């Protein structure tokens, strides 16, 4: 397993669409493992391959590590699963949730999505499966990560003004990070 760099919006690569996987082989399973490791390292609950610059329809997800109020969180990895070539079979109703994104650090906004979903996908072992969720973090996360496969981010669901304010903060953050990297490189 290897950590991968997560692209930060407005990186133009985040607007590119993923390609179907079709065959789950050793390369795809390695990508699955890398996505999971990178997601956990960044304290996320979902990560799509396009967020690390790989244009494949692969998502790592573990929403069970974040317990609902009054519940014990599961151990890291217990709720981990992968969605390869996911297809939303049912999307109905509405559910509003405050979303964040590993590609848009420290920004959170309310987004309205389908409340009830059924998603069909291939798992890491190449088996076709289905998950259903209603008005939960899982239903939101599946839709959020599937958006990444289409080159769409949660800010695309916001008003132009909110999106532009966040874009400016992300550009500033990227400039700060690049300056820090250069400073670390010259210190070596």
Q: Where are the domains of the chain?
A: 12-187
Q: What is the torsional sign of CA 116, 119, 124, 127?
A: positive
- Residue 148: which of 98, 95, 102, 112 has the closest Cα? 102
Q: Quick one: pLDDT at residue 73?
A: 58
Instruction: Quick: pLDDT tens for 28-76.
Output: 999 999 999 999 999 999 999 999 999 999 999 998 755 555 556 566 7
Q: What percentage of the chain carries pLDDT values higher than 90?
A: 81
Active site residues: 145
At the fourth CATH level, the homologous superfamily of domain 12-187 is Peptide deformylase (3.90.45.10)
The β-bridge partners of 157 are none
Asked if the model's pLDDT at residue 109 lies above 80, the reply is yes
Give residue 188's Cα distance to chain centre: 34
């Amino acid at each position: 397993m290897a950590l991968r760099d997560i692209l930060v919006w407005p990186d133009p690569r985040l607007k590119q669409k993923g390609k179907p996987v079709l065959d789950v082989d050793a390369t795809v399973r390695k990508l699955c493992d890398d996505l999971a490791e990178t997601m956990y390292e960044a304290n996320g609950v979902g990560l799509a391959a396009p967020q690390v610059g790989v244009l494949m329809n692969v998502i790592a997800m573990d929403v069970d590590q974040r317990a609902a109020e009054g519940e014990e969180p599961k151990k890291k990895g217990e709720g981990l699963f992968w969605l390869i070539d996911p297809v939303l079979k049912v999307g109905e109703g509405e559910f509003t949730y405050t979303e964040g994104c590993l590609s848009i650090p420290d920004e959170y906004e309310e987004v309205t999505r389908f409340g009830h979903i059924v998603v069909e996908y291939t798992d890491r072992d190449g088996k076709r499966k289905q998950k259903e969720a209603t008005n939960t973090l899982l239903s939101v996360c599946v839709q959020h990560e599937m958006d990444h496969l289409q080159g769409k981010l949660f800010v695309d669901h916001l008003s132009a003004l909110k999106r532009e304010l966040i874009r400016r903060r992300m550009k500033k953050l990227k400039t700060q990070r690049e300056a820090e990297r250069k400073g670390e490189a010259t210190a070596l």
